[in-house]
Structure 1
């Protein structure tokens, strides 16, 4: 029997690769690309975090307030003198399973953020180096293992699996669309 994590990883693999490939085109050491990267993430993340909050994520993750990144992302954009984009509008509410699926994508994105933070930190542009609160956001100690434990507990209820997969798909699709919408022109070497 597969665990919910294995199911999410297997079912979301292709979309995850598409999101990584889309954002992999951004040259994070340049201000225009880094700004566009943050604007794309803001469009996706702010809308998804708001949707999770309206849907009651705090019941599932009591430390949600410490996990959210909307404010630090806005601060980074402000530091770059960039206007925040209109967040993706997701009007409906999520059920419990969908909340877990969306949260899985958002929490998992932190793991890749460490490498991206290192790249942006090597920028010759001081403004880029200084606007890295989003990528370097530190969640509560033990946040990832704690999240996985709660996800596994929720995943014991097989009735939630289809909704968990749908929530994950929604989050990846929102990030993919935002990444494509804000994609900057390719910089010639």
Structure 2
């Protein structure tokens, strides 16, 4: 089983839980949209910082084009919201965990493109509509498939940790509302 297939299969429950929880945000409502972005701002900067501190550019030289923290923070600022404190960074100890964390973020990016359709045109949506290089998702999946990672269990555990970070972020924003 490829790393991608293992991650998809063994994190499907986490992915479904994240989708269900984030589905509680009505993106056509400005207050819900703000909360949705704040939830992401609790998770994405933490994961991206952990990836960078762990040397993700050695595995993905195009990492700088994949980052979305600045887009997210720009959307939040345009909506007049203050910055949200990010949750603690996940521990990314090895290549398997790095690949897994990027897998979750790239999946989030793909899902974001679908969610962007629900955001009214007058609201900022740079974060959900990043203008990265064409084919970057396919390129990432090809790299993931050829990564040579044999620590499937470690990768799955890291991906689940990142999904849990998103869950916690959404719960905090939903509780505050």
Return structure 1 stretches of 4+ with deviation > 6 angstroms. Answer: none
TM-align CA RMSD: 1.6
User: Structure 2 length normalisation: TM-score?
Assistant: 0.94
Structure 2 counterpart of 1:183: 174
Describe the superposition over 1:50-88 as per-residue Cα deviations: whole angstroms up to 9, x where unpaired.
000001111111000000001010000000000121111
Describe the superposition over 1:148-180 as per-residue Cα deviations: whole angstroms up to 9, x where unpaired.
1111111x342x212211221111000011011
Structure 2 counterpart of 1:29: 28
Taking the aligned partners of 1:44 and 1:80, their CA distance within structure 2 comes to 19
Describe the superposition over 1:24-53 as per-residue Cα deviations: whole angstroms up to 9, x where unpaired.
000001111000000000110011000000
Identify unmatched segments of 5+ residues in structure 2. none
Identify unmatched segments of 5+ residues in structure 1. none
Residue 138 (structure 2) pairs with residue 134 (structure 1): no
Would the aligned equivalents of 2:46 and 2:90 in 1 still touch at CA under 8 Å? no
Structure 1 counterpart of 2:165: 174
C-alpha displacement at 1:184, in angstroms? Answer: 6.3
Structure 2 counterpart of 1:55: 54
Residue 147 (structure 2) pairs with residue 151 (structure 1): no
Larger Rg computed on CA atoms: 1
Would the aligned equivalents of 1:117 and 1:136 in 2 still touch at CA under 8 Å? yes
Would the aligned equivalents of 1:36 and 1:182 in 2 still touch at CA under 8 Å? yes
